[in-house]
């Protein structure tokens, strides 16, 4: 059977967590995120928009070079449930081509923009070989810039071993997100968590 569920958490005892970043790459904030993970000795997954990869290919390449995972977040960031299935498929295809151009391999994971998903989109993603990825900390709402403290508290309270966390490194001022991620990475690594990619998490 083809897996068509949305993955937010993988049940396990080992202290691992997968930080994910949507909507990049961004020339200001993506390098700041990379610096945090470089210092922590961890890795993350970047759900990149195809058009942003075209605009900032050097940053996308740096993400890959530093050992992070690049995954599919569509080409133009539409709500896929508002498109025809053919149009949705084309969004995935164009983004996939760019991921392969940067990494030399296929993306394993996909996150629908706005979490806009239905059974047809889940089936389409599964047919393309993707696992559809959600997150446990949607209440953090980092995309709304609710304040660093809000992002930290609503992410911290959601974390347990095997969690996927969502943040944004693209579109608009992401300085609150970067600071929140800095705090969370310090806290979680001090608590014994390893920072892994989504693929690493799925393979455990």
Q: Give the separation between CA 33 and CA 165, rounded to whole angstroms.
A: 14
**Per residue in 152-200, pLDDT tens?**
999 999 999 999 999 999 989 999 999 999 999 999 999 999 999 999 9
Asked whether residue 1 carries a pLDDT value surpassing 60, the answer given is no
In this prediction, residue 120 carries a pLDDT of 96
| 63 torsion bin: left (phi>0), alpha (psi -120 to 50), beta (else) | alpha
Residue 168: active-site member: yes
22 sits in which H/E element: strand 16-22
- Please tell me which residue in 68, 73, 77, 168 is annotated as part of the active site: 168
Distance of CA 37 to the CA centre of its chain: 14
CB 116 within 8 A of CB 80: yes
| 78 torsion bin: left (phi>0), alpha (psi -120 to 50), beta (else) | beta
Distance of CA 134 to the CA centre of its chain: 9
**Per residue in 81-107, pLDDT tens?**
999 999 999 999 999 999 999 999 999
Mean pLDDT value of segment 141-147: 97
Backbone angles phi, psi at 201, to 5 degrees: -65, -45
Domain ranges, ordered by start, for the chain: 6-136+160-175+188-202
Mean pLDDT value of segment 7-31: 98
**Per residue in 14-25, pLDDT tens?**
999 999 999 999
Asked whether residue 4 carries a pLDDT value surpassing 80, the answer given is no
Which of 16, 5, 2 lies closest to 193 in space, CA to CA?
Answer: 16
Residue 50's pLDDT band (cuts 50, 70, 90): very high
Mean pLDDT value of segment 31-43: 99
- End-to-end CA, the chain: 20
Residue 191: active-site member: no
- Please tell me which residue in 22, 23, 142, 169 is annotated as part of the active site: 22
CATH number belonging to the domain at 6-136+160-175+188-202, selected among 3.20.20.370, 3.10.20.30, 3.40.50.1450, 2.60.260.20: 3.20.20.370
Q: What is the mean pLDDT of the chain?
A: 97
Q: Give the separation between CA 138 and CA 192, rounded to whole angstroms.
A: 23
Which residue bears the tokens 């600071």? 179
In this prediction, residue 5 carries a pLDDT of 87
In this prediction, residue 3 carries a pLDDT of 56
Q: What are the helix (H) ranges across 24-147?
A: 29-40, 50-55, 57-65, 85-103, 119-127
Q: Give the separation between CA 91 and CA 86, rounded to whole angstroms.
A: 9
**Per residue in 58-69, pLDDT tens?**
999 999 999 999
């Amino acid at each position: 059977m083809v897996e068509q569920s949305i993955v937010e958490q993988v049940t396990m005892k080992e202290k691992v967590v997968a930080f994910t970043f949507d909507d990049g790459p961004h020339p200001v904030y993506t390098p700041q995120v990379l610096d945090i993970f470089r210092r922590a000795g961890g890795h993350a997954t970047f759900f990149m928009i195809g058009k942003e990869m075209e605009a900032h290919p050097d940053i996308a390449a740096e993400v890959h070079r530093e050992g992070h995972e690049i995954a599919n977040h569509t080409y133009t960031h539409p709500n896929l449930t508002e498109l025809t299935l053919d149009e949705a498929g084309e969004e995935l295809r164009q983004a996939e081509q760019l991921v392969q151009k940067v990494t030399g391999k296929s993306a394993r994971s996909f996150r629908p923009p706005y979490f806009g998903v239905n059974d047809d989109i889940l089936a389409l993603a599964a047919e393309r070989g993707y696992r559809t990825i959600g997150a446990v900390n949607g209440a953090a709402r980092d995309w709304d810039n609710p304040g660093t403290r809000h992002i930290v508290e609503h992410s911290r309270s959601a974390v347990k071993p095997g969690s996927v966390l969502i943040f944004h490194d693209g579109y608009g001022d992401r300085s609150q997100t970067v600071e929140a991620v800095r705090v969370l990475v310090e806290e979680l690594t001090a608590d014994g968590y390893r920072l892994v990619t989504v693929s690493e998490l799925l393979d455990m």
